[in-house]
């Protein structure tokens, strides 16, 4: 295990606190999107740096496959969640696949299901209660983890009620009152909106169903509840933090983000640079580095073969990986005549909206020698596309952070992306990639044209690749920023408790 330099947090009551992450997704146990890796990546670096840490994750059916060696943490415990008492059990992973201290919250009724959030494209109808239970039970279980102080770091709406429970159920309890509370918003578009009637069901008092707490346009908003009860909140990039403060980008919560002032800030996620390393990646056709880039040619040839495209080292190869969804910009790609008039090859990897999948398949049918499509996602393919493509296209409508553009840069694959969220913060226009402004077909064409122009010159392209590959997107600098944020949260909590 890598061990990074030891860091420390300000003391609470004379002791360094344990950082406890609450996340509905956590790598490798439960994963549908970026949340799992983001929560895990940050935690792993904190753990490696010597901090006392723990993650609490629901024990989903899927998670059991990765969590075989478990030890009970105390006896089962029961909490009264609104009308019914619910019994949980906390398990600690003995040899965690995550390489981080991890506990699982077991409740077969809530979490022992086939899906994380739903099945067959339909959300579970009791998600409001499942994740309220996850938050409430995790908070109740905190004293089982340590007798010392705790800093609670909740992730996204599924865990956002944890700070609310700390500040309502446990108010007046000196140990709980001292807990600094931090909430990370990985995707502000998902907030946990439920009818007002859920309030008694989740055991929360009507007194906090107010516009300055959980009420939101007549609904109960879990994310808003969390934001209005925490000491510090973060999102996954500085630009997205600014976007969330605007009426156009705040998903209806811009006034809350604005109200938080400097207590709400953006911190870029990182990527695992040991996994995403073209010099050692076992999933790609040949290894390469910024100084020895030749292997990338073999990766490109392999990718062209894999997608049935003519092997041609000179034609620019443009990759796209992601959900086939409007948010990812597929709508401004699939009918973009000008885009496909460029002398370039395209590969699309991902699944999603059936209409968009069909459109991409139709493109392939029309231009089989220039467009390759794979709608069955696989990790290996993701590595192959990132290693073999020359350009990586991310025309996102919004992108809170994004990870693939960072991975692509590490592989000398130049991103062409819209200037939003984390894309704006991780791509330096004209230096490590190309950014465009508008969310329309014209802007995508303009961005690709600029990239294709640069690609004409081997020397200029190599210079860009070298710059891109030298960028550090590791978790270390992210963890450093969080030390500052935790320090502020600790100070704020101390002031509150006093």
Q: Give the residues lining the site for another protein (CB under 8 A).
A: 337-338, 342, 419, 428-432, 436-438, 440-443, 445-450, 452-454, 456-457, 459-460
Q: How far is the CB of 427 from another protein (least distance, A)?
A: 8
Q: How far is the CB of 428 from another protein (least distance, A)?
A: 4
Place of tokens 């579970």: 124
Q: How far is the CB of 9 from another protein (least distance, A)?
A: 28
In sequence order, the 6+-apart residues with CB closer than 8 A to the CB of 150 are 17, 18, 19, 20, 142, 179
Place of tokens 């340590």: 146
247-263 burial code (b ≥16 CB/10 A, e <16): eebbbebbebbeebeeb
Residues 398, 416 contacting (CB under 8 angstroms): no
* DSSP H helices in 411-474: 421-426, 441-455, 458-470
* Closer of 175 and 342 to another protein (Cβ): 342
Q: How far is the CB of 432 from another protein (least distance, A)?
A: 8
* Closer of 295 and 446 to another protein (Cβ): 446
- CA 50 from centre of chain: 23
Place of tokens 């578009």: 189
| Structure-token pair, residue 186 | 């990985």
- CA 495 from centre of chain: 31
Q: How far is the CB of 431 from another protein (least distance, A)?
A: 5
* Closer of 176 and 461 to another protein (Cβ): 461
* Closer of 91 and 449 to another protein (Cβ): 449
Residues 416, 434 contacting (CB under 8 angstroms): yes
C-alpha gyration radius of the chain: 23
Q: How far is the CB of 341 from another protein (least distance, A)?
A: 8
* Closer of 253 and 452 to another protein (Cβ): 452
Residues 157, 226 contacting (CB under 8 angstroms): yes
Q: Is the peptide bond before 28 cis (omega within 30 degrees of 0)?
A: yes
Q: How far is the CB of 437 from another protein (least distance, A)?
A: 5
The whole-angstrom separation of Cα 309 and Cα 492 is: 58
* Closer of 209 and 342 to another protein (Cβ): 342
* Closer of 376 and 458 to another protein (Cβ): 458
């Amino acid at each position: 295990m890598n061990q990074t330099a030891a860091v420390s947090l300000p003391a609470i009551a004379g002791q360094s606190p344990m950082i406890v992450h609450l996340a509905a997704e956590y790598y490798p146990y439960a994963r549908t999107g970026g949340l799992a890796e983001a929560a895990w990546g940050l935690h792993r670096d904190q753990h490696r740096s010597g901090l006392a840490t723990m993650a609490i994750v629901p024990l989903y059916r899927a998670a059991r496959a990765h969590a075989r060696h478990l030890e009970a943490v105390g006896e089962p415990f029961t909490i009264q969640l609104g009308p019914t008492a619910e019994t949980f059990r906390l398990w600690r992973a003995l040899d965690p696949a995550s390489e981080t201290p991890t506990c699982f919250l077991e409740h077969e009724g809530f979490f022992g299901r086939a899906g994380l959030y739903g099945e067959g494209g339909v959300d579970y109808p009791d998600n409001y209660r499942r994740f309220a239970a996850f938050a409430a039970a995790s908070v109740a279980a905190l004293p089982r983890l340590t007798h010392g102080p705790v800093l609670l770091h909740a992730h996204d709406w599924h865990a956002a009620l944890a700070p609310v429970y700390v500040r309502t159920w446990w108010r007046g309890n000196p140990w709980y009152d001292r807990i600094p509370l931090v909430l990370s918003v990985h995707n502000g578009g998902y907030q946990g909106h439920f009818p007002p009637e859920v309030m008694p069901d989740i055991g929360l008092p009507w007194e906090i169903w107010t516009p300055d707490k959980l009420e939101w346009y007549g609904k109960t908003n879990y994310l808003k509840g969390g934001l209005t009860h925490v000491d510090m909140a973060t999102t996954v990039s500085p630009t997205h933090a600014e976007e969330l403060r605007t009426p156009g980008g705040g998903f209806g919560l811009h006034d809350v983000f604005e109200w938080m002032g400097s207590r709400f800030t953006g911190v870029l996620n990182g990527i695992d640079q040991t996994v995403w390393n073209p010099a050692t990646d076992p999933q790609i056709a040949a290894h390469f580095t910024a100084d020895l880039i030749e292997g990338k040619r073999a990766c490109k040839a392999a990718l062209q073969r894999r997608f049935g495209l003519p092997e041609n080292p000179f034609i620019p190869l443009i990759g796209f990986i992601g959900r086939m969804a409007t948010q990812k910009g597929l709508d401004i790609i699939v009918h973009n005549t000008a885009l496909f008039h460029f002398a370039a090859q395209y590969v699309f990897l991902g699944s999603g909206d059936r209409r968009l999948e069909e459109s991409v398949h139709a493109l392939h049918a029309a231009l089989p020698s220039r467009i390759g499509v794979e709608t069955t996602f696989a990790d290996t393919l993701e590595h192959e596309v990132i290693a073999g493509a020359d350009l990586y296209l991310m025309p996102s409508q919004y992108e809170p952070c994004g990870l693939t553009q960072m991975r692509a840069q590490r592989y000398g694959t130049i991103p062409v992306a819209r200037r939003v969220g984390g894309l704006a913060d991780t791509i330096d226009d004209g230096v490590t990639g190309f950014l465009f402004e508008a969310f329309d077909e014209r802007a995508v064409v303009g961005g690709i044209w600029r990239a294709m122009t640069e690609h004409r010159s081997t020397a200029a392209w190599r210079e860009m690749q070298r710059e891109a590959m030298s960028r550090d997107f590791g978790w270390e600098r992210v963890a450093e920023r969080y030390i500052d944020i935790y320090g502020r949260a600790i100070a704020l909590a101390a002031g509150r408790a006093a």
